[in-house]
A and B are shown apart, each in its own frame.
Chain A
């Protein structure tokens, strides 16, 4: 998780306990939990897209302003963004290190934050203000 230099000696010595045990376990559990929730997200996404693909704004507002659709949809988009950030972290850790990794992680966080705020924000705007 955290960016530290891991040498062969570190790996060979079981007493070193290299890596961040707490953060890595949290990362694992978060990814499984959000992944499971994403199944519900995909089902709701399918429902919403099938109903609204290519439709006019009035139809979009008509469906999403229903609290039982709009509120869960916004929440699930935000949870999907957490899964995105976690998953992209795995990829970045595999290929980058040092300041380049930290820069990529910053961009990753910003992108996922943008998707969550704009996606869920747009849905909530439609729910509460039409």
Chain B
């Protein structure tokens, strides 16, 4: 007796991952990361407003290997969230929503964010 395959339950662990789904999750994750990262910017600016000693301390922490790692991640997070936002602007015109189109655009945001981030750090940090 042959039985037709039953529809599978859309449970999180067995859900087939698509690039649009992954980029949707990453858009929210980077948004939350940017939310926290803005505190780092505020701390730096407040330290600069207070005085040289406070700024020296913040520069020391941000300049450490861990600080640089966090700032590199923050850069990518900001750039990726911007690329994701541009993708939403495109979708607001009800275009690029078909299968294939939306997947290519999702991959494009990921590739663009990685390339732009590496470009920023290469030009302004590693080669500067």
Contact = CB atoms under 8 A, between A and B. Distances in A.
A36 B82 CA distance: 9
Contacts of A114: 42
Interface in B42-92: 42, 45-46, 48-49, 51-52, 55, 59, 62-63, 78-79, 82, 85, 88-89, 92
Interface in B2-61: 28, 31-32, 34-35, 38-39, 41-42, 45-46, 48-49, 51-52, 55, 59
A15 interface: no
Given A56-B55, A57-B51, A125-B49, A115 B39 contact: yes
A64 to B, nearest CB: 8
A118 B92 contact: no
Contacts of A91: 28, 31-32
B34 A32 contact: no
10 contacts: A32-B89, A35-B88, A36-B89, A45-B78, A46-B124, A87-B35, A115-B39, A121-B49, A122-B49, A126-B48
Interface of B: 28, 31-32, 34-35, 38-39, 41-42, 45-46, 48-49, 51-52, 55, 59, 62-63, 78-79, 82, 85, 88-89, 92, 120, 124, 128
Interface of A: 32, 35-36, 38-39, 42, 45-46, 50, 53-57, 60-61, 64, 77, 80-81, 84, 87-88, 91, 111, 114-115, 118-119, 121-123, 125-126
